[in-house]
Amino acid sequence: KNEVEQSPQNLTAQEGEFITINCSYSVGISALHWLQQHPGGGIVSLFMLSSGKKKHGRLIATINIQEKHSSLHITASHPRDSAVYICAVSYGGSQGNLIFGKGTKLSVKP
């Protein structure tokens, strides 16, 4: 069974802290996505990666194919980073045929 597990489920941080969200999956994948869902419900694609590391501003995503694990890091966190972060994987079907994790709800306090 293809599963995507995220941890932690909930995370509270103080402004400025370094944050890590983890994602594990059970079988080989073609790509892994990190998504951000805002309190209003809209979804933004942050990263799509199949190997190595990607960086965009204060966000960094890494993936270890051998260990079937990915991390999303947020440096110098800010209250506007408060959102649900969702990991999703595609297993070789179409690019958007994704298996989603349940999400990590992040709250950054000022």
Partner 1 sequence: NAGVMQNPRHLVRRRGQEARLRCSPMKGHSHVYWYRQLPEEGLKFMVYLQKENIIDESGMPKERFSAEFPKEGPSILRIQQVVRGDSAAYFCASFQGAGSPLHFGNGTRLTVT
- HSE toward the beta carbon, residue 48, CA cutoff 13 A: 8
Nearer to partner 1, 44 or 76 (CB): 44
Q: How far is the CB of 94 from partner 1 (least distance, A)?
A: 5
User: Which of 3, 102, 107, 109 touches partner 1 by CB under 8 A?
Assistant: 102
Q: Which residues pair with 25 in a beta bridge?
A: 4
E-state strands within 8-103: 10-14, 19-25, 31-37, 43-49, 52-56, 59-64, 69-74, 83-90, 98-100
User: Which of 1, 39, 40, 110 touches partner 1 by CB under 8 A?
Assistant: 40
Residues numbered 5 to 34 that lie near partner 1 (CB under 8 A) are 33
Residues in contact with partner 1 by the rule CB under 8 A: 33, 35, 40-45, 48, 86, 88, 93-103
